[in-house]
Amino acid sequence: MSENCESVVSLFGRNVFNDVVMRERLPKNVYKEFKKTISEGRFLDTSLANVVANAMKDWAIEKGATHFCHWFQPMTGLTAEKHDSFISPTAEGQTIMEFSGKELTQGEPDASSFPSGGLRATFEARGYTAWDCTSPVFIKETGKTITLYIPCAFCSYNAEALDKKTPLLRSMDALNTQAVRVLKALGNTTVKTVNATLGPEQEYFLVDKKFVEKRLDLMLAGRTLFGAASPRGQEMSDHYFGALHERVASYMHDVNMELWKLGVSAKTQHNEVSPGQYELAPVFATVNVATDHNQLVMETLQKVALRNNMVCLLNEKPFAGVNGSGKHNNWSLVTDEGVNLLEPGNTPHDNMVFLVMLCSVLRAVDKYAKLLRAAVATAGNDHRLGAHEAPPAIVSIFLGDQLTDIIEQLAAGGAKSSKTGGQLKLGVSALPPLPKDSTDRNRTSPFAFTGNKFEFRMVGSSQSTAGPMFVLNTIVADVLKEIADELEKSSNVKATVQKILQKIVKDHSRVVFNGDNYTQEWAKEAEKRGLPNIKSTVESLKTIMDTENFELFKNHKVLTKAELKARTEILLDAYSMTLNIEAKTAVNMAQRQIIPAAVEYSSLLAKSIKNIEKVGAEAGSQKKTLEKVCRLINELDNNAEELGKAAIAASKIANSAKKAESYRDVVKPIMAKVRQAADGLETMVDAKIWPLPSYAEMLFIK
Ligand code: ADP
Ligand code: MG
């Protein structure tokens, strides 16, 4: 092993209180009891928690930690943390370092300033954090502060979920319960648990910090609100998978090192389609741990970028005219025996478990397409979905040739065979024939089967994976419940399965689409098939409170009606607030930077015209330019004023849906007009006077 590899092996998970550390540090009986508690999903009792906490504290202190914190994921979509030191003063005026079981398992941060969507009044401040002991505790080094992090769920005084993690954990329970029932009914006598797995591919942009510092839009809104197109964009397709530039490669190295220490298995890295765009994918993990890890990935990408004098942009659409960023959520189901339930094997047609799981997903995704769409509805994602770089807002499933053929057979009465891939011959004698996959890929599909998992490709790059994943888990659990209910009372399981699958395929094959999702023809065809095409976030969020959805979440104990309603309010508010910030930033930049620069240029032109004419020469060109510049200044000035007023008017609307609609229908179109005038000016005004770094400068980081 090279020195480099060796160091990575010893580095990986160094800051995680993982299984190896626990086995080393906990008394044998405690370790066993603790593992059992985790695997059975029971509550940790106090005496056990005390021993575990003490071992954790010793480990953390040896690593230089002075503080611990409950780390949770409020509805902001980001993480939150409140640090406490281990110190405990003694009567003699000294201190000892203490950490109790209670401090480990439960915290009481003040909840009053987190979004609650009306779940509690501001004065009802108490909030609770509870350790999710299935996600390991870890140490994070931030500057000089070294802290023990405890991944937590966060709820109100009335046990209502105030975070993204609680419903995710609840949905995992629901999925586990129903999937195990189905497996048992299908004859599996040994299975104990089924977990959802997630591998999120994270896309991001890097921009040199010196440019970001000059752009209020990037600093405050995370995306450019102005900017004429660069003469060179992504049309040469030369960035995608291109050789990494040295500066970026070094950055990726630093990111990997940080993540590996935290036990995040960062695996794949490459250049993405747009110049300045990149991707990182970890090895998949159980969905709650993967969600925690994705938060660490986003945070680390940003933190390490700053150290390298760059800024990492996670926004879905940092630059107009080139691709935006998504977060492909690869999702599957795995048993405690390590069996991937979405693994088709060589003969999927007679793999009953696989077919049941596949058809369950088919029914769930079609039945709850609107809910799945709502799970990815954000202001940022509105710029991306359907914009020829990401799937449209129509939810459909790509199955590929082999599985499509099988479900067609199922519909006709039973699957008897599976198409195989054969071999790929490259026509070069030195290259061996490659085994060909039975199914091609489809990059345009919002929900694609990719070999042994589904890839939900509509998720936005800045989103927490918790929302989309708890929706997916719950809708699949719901269908599995229906199937388990039928199978458990059946006297002929095989025949019943046959009947169920046949019905599912007949009812839901409309959601299967293997063609190009980016085309207009598909939009028309989808409409004919009756598939919803919900284009805007506001419209989509309004569907969340449909009766079938709160029944769904209530039945599986994932969210109460009040919790669901609160979430909808929070999401609508987030939409409005995002647009409000963007509008105010655009007005500010237009009035304080762009117009003054254009005015300066126009007076230069005016002076030059005067001077030229004084000596009796023609200044036709300059006059034409001056007129155009003045017209655009006028336009920009009027539009900016209108935008400011529209944003204020929208912000005063009390009803959250109406408010969001006003931002969408009134504010957003004016913002587009403001941009158009400003971008027009950018193409004319002297580059030396123009106050903002251009797309051409920002996009080509080297
Ligand atoms: P792509 O070729 O689609 O870009 P990547 O290699 O970039 O694929 O990412 C694929 C992701 O899918 C990785 O995070 C990988 O760990 C994850 N993945 C693989 N198998 C599973 C599974 N069974 N469940 C969930 N995620 C998985
Ligand atoms: Mg990828």
Confidence (pLDDT) at 422: 63
Tell me, what's the pLDDT at 122? 58
Q: Give yes or no: residues 141 and 287 share one domain.
A: no
* Beta pairing, strands 145-156 & 138-142: antiparallel
Question: Which amino acid, residue 66?
Answer: T
pLDDT for position 419: 83
Look at 113 and 181; give whichever has higher pLDDT: 181
- Closest Cα to atom 6 of ligand 1: 268
The answer to the question of residue 431 being in a domain is no
> If you search the block for the tokens 């909030």, which residue do you land on?
127
Does 569 map to a domain? no
Find out whether 149 and 296 touch, Cβ atoms under 8 Å: no
Alpha-carbon distance values, 139 to 3, 298, 347, 429, 456 (Å)? 25, 17, 46, 53, 31
Q: What's the chain's Rg over C-alpha atoms?
A: 28
Establish if 288 belongs to a structural domain: yes
| Kind plus residue range of the DSSP H or E element containing 71 | strand 67-72
pLDDT digits (tens, 9 = 90+) for 423-444: 666 666 666 666 666 677 778 9
Residue 478 pLDDT > 60: yes
Whole-angstrom Cα distance, residue 285 to residue 293?
9
Supply the DSSP string of 329-353, one letter for each residue: EEEEEEETT--BTT---S-GGG-HH
Protein residue with least CA distance to atom 23, ligand 1: 332
Tell me which residue has its CA closest to atom 4 in ligand 1.
201
Q: Domain check: are 330 and 375 in the same one?
A: yes
Note the ligand closest to the C-alpha atom of 331.
1
pLDDT in tens, 159-199: 889 999 999 999 999 999 999 999 999 999 999 999 999 99
Q: Structurally, how many domains does the chain consist of?
A: 3
Among 113, 133, 162, which residue terminates a domain? 162
Q: Which atom of ligand 1 is nearest to the CA of 340?
A: 23
Give domain status of residue 428, yes or no.
Answer: no
Is the pLDDT score of 33 beyond 70? yes
In a shared domain, residues 135 and 177: no
Ligand 2 centre distance from Cα of residue 602 (Å): 48
Measure 293 CA to ligand 1 centroid, in angstroms: 15
In a domain, 299, yes or no: yes
Residue 447 C-alpha to ligand 1 middle, in angstroms? 14
Domain end call among 513, 532, 559: 559
Ligand 1 atom with the shortest distance to the CA of 332: 24
Does residue 406 surpass a pLDDT of 60? yes
Q: Where are the beta strands (DSSP E) in 382-497?
A: 397-398, 423-424, 434-435, 447-449, 454-456
CATH code: domain of residue 652: 1.20.120.1560
pLDDT computed for residue 390 by the predictor: 86
Protein residue with its CA nearest to atom 17 in ligand 1: 199
> Do residues 504 and 581 share a domain?
no
Could you tell me the CATH number of the domain that includes residue 68? 3.10.20.70
Domain region containing 359:
171-225+235-420+436-559
Task: Answer yes or no: do 157 and 179 share one domain.
Answer: no
Q: Classify residue 624: in a domain, yes or no.
A: yes
Of 198, 278, 284, best ligand 1 pocket probe by most atoms within 8 Å of the beta carbon:
284
Structural domain includes residue 370: yes
The ligand 1 atom nearest the CA atom of 199 = 14
Distance (angstroms) between ligand 2 centre and the Cα of 330 equals: 10
272 plus 207 within the same structural domain? yes
- With a Cβ cut-off of 6 Å, ligand 1 is lined by 197-199, 201, 268, 281-284, 330-332, 340, 450, 452-453
The residue with greater pLDDT, 701 or 279, is 279
What pLDDT, on a 0 to 100 scale, did the predictor assign at position 637? Answer: 98
**pLDDT of 3 higher than 60:** no
Average pLDDT over residues 529-550: 96
Could you tell which of 195, 453, 456 is best to mutate to test the pocket of ligand 1, judged by most ligand atoms within 8 Å of the CB? 453
The ligand 1 atom at the shortest distance from the C-alpha of residue 343 is 23
Tell me the average pLDDT of the chain: 93
What's the pLDDT tens digit per position in 120-131? 765 677 889 999
Please check whether residues 150 and 188 belong to one and the same domain.
Answer: no
Q: Are strands 277-282 and 194-208 parallel, antiparallel or unpaired?
A: antiparallel
Contact 361, 505 (CB under 8 A): no
To the nearest 10 degrees (0 to 180), the angle between helices 352-367 and 466-488 is 120
Q: Which residue has the higher pLDDT, 155 or 585?
A: 585
Average pLDDT over residues 510-537: 95
pLDDT in tens, 307-366: 999 999 999 999 999 999 999 999 999 999 999 999 999 888 889 999 999 999 999 999
In a shared domain, residues 155 and 214: no
SS3 379: coil
In the reported structure, the alpha carbon of residue 69 is separated from the centroid of ligand 2 by a whole-number distance in angstroms of 33
Closest residue CA from atom 22 of ligand 1: 332
H or E segment and range at residue 11: helix 3-11
Q: In ligand 1, which atom is closest to the CA atom of 198? A: 25
What φ, ψ does residue 347 adopt, rounded to 5°?
-130, 70
Q: What gap in Å lies between CA 329 and CA 510, rounded to an integer?
A: 23
The residue nearest atom 19 of ligand 1, judged by CA position, is 284
Token pair, residue 664, equals 């969408």
Domain boundary among 109, 141, 162: 162
Query: In ligand 1, which atom is closest to the CA atom of 281?
Result: 14
* pLDDT at res. 434: 65
Q: Identify the weakest region by mean pLDDT among 107-111, 183-187, 308-312, 524-528.
A: 107-111
Phi-psi region for residue 115, left (φ > 0), alpha (ψ -120 to 50) or beta? beta
Q: What's the gap in Å between 201 CA and the centre of ligand 1? A: 7
Tell me the angle at which helices 620-651 and 561-589 cross, rounded to the nearest 10 degrees: 150
* Cα 327 to ligand 2 centroid, rounded to whole Å: 9
Atom of ligand 1 nearest to the CA of 342: 23
For residues 311 and 200, state if they share a domain: yes
Q: Looking at residue 400, which CATH number applies to its domain? A: 3.30.590.10
**Cα–ligand 1 centroid distance for 347 (angstroms):** 22
3-state secondary structure 625-642: HHHHHHHHHHHHHHHHHH
Burial 348-368 (b: 16+ CB within 10 A, else e): bbebbbbbbbbbbbbbbbbbb
pTM above 0.85, yes or no: yes
* Atom 13 of ligand 1, residue of closest alpha carbon: 199
* Residues 596, 500 share a domain: no
Tell me the CA–centroid distance for residue 281 and ligand 2, in Å. 7
- State the ligand closest to the CA atom of 441: 1
- Whether residue 429 is contained in a domain is answered as no
393-405: average pLDDT: 94
Do the beta carbons of residue 450 and residue 192 sit within 8 Å?
no
d(CA 334, CA 615): 84
- Residue 278 Cα to ligand 2 midpoint, Å, equals 10
Looking at the structure, tell me whether residues 283 and 310 fall in a common domain. Answer: yes
Task: Clarify whether residues 95 and 22 are in a common domain.
Answer: yes
SS3 assignment, position 584: helix
